[in-house]
Chain A
Amino acid sequence: EIVLTQSPGTLSLSPGERATLSCRASQSFSSSSLAWYQQKPGQAPRLLIYGASSRATGIPDRFSGSGSGTDFTLTISRLEPEDFAVYYCQQYGSSPRTFGQGTKVEIK
């Protein structure tokens, strides 16, 4: 099982600032199988990034993903008020599919 560890647990930032979220895997896997999701309270997760760096339909270009092997990053270039949420990374290429424990981006 691939264990995903996200850091930091909480990121306190102001609107307009840059957010950098990390996801580290317990073993290397194809970047084609790494996704990032955004989740707001009371809502289902929403796909932001797939294949480590491709934006899903309708996702603004302030969201970008990068990385390979065991280290992956989600960057939000300039935080908008609607971006304050919890973000999860996920590997979806093999069973069991696994998720990180999440990074909460909160308003400072």
Chain B
Amino acid sequence: QVQLVQSGAEVKKPGASVKVSCKASGYTFTSDYMHWVRQAPGQGPEWMGIINPSGGSTNYAQKFQGRVTMTRDTSTSTVYMELSSLRSEDTAVYYCARTNYDILTGFWNAFDIWGQGTMVTVSS
């Protein structure tokens, strides 16, 4: 079955970086796109950016420009999200979520499959 499995929880100090992985299975990895979404405690989801696993192109939310890097490894069907210069406000659950682009209609599709989430805690 289609699934996204993320890496385990992380605890980081302010100023450090964190790298979260998301391994895809059950579908053709390079046929679909992957988003990263985070959710702070008690808050709604917040979109961070998108990566095209086929060519590696990315589009980041302006809020995270300069601090986030999304990459992929096609040999293992895994995408990565690295966030640097961590601060306490980055404490959140980080999710990867799949989408695709319908070339016939010219529209993007919704986020149909989500990873289980990775808790990142930033604390001194």
Contact = CB atoms under 8 A, between A and B. Distances in A.
B44 A33 contact: no
A4 B97 CA distance: 20
B107 A95 contact: no
A95 B49 CA distance: 8
B110 A47 contact: yes
A44 B116 contact: yes
A14 interface: no
12 contacts: A30-B107, A44-B95, A44-B115, A44-B117, A45-B95, A50-B110, A50-B112, A88-B45, A90-B45, A90-B111, A97-B35, A101-B43
A105 to B, nearest CB: 15
Interface residues of B, number: 24
B109 interface: yes
Interface of A: 30, 32-33, 35, 37, 44-47, 50-51, 56, 88, 90, 92-93, 95-102
Nearest to A30: B107
Contacts of A45: 45, 95, 97, 111, 114
Per DSSP, chain A at the interface is loop
A47 B44 CA distance: 15
A32 B45 contact: no
B64 to A, nearest CB: 10
Contacts of A33: 107-108
A90 B50 CA distance: 15
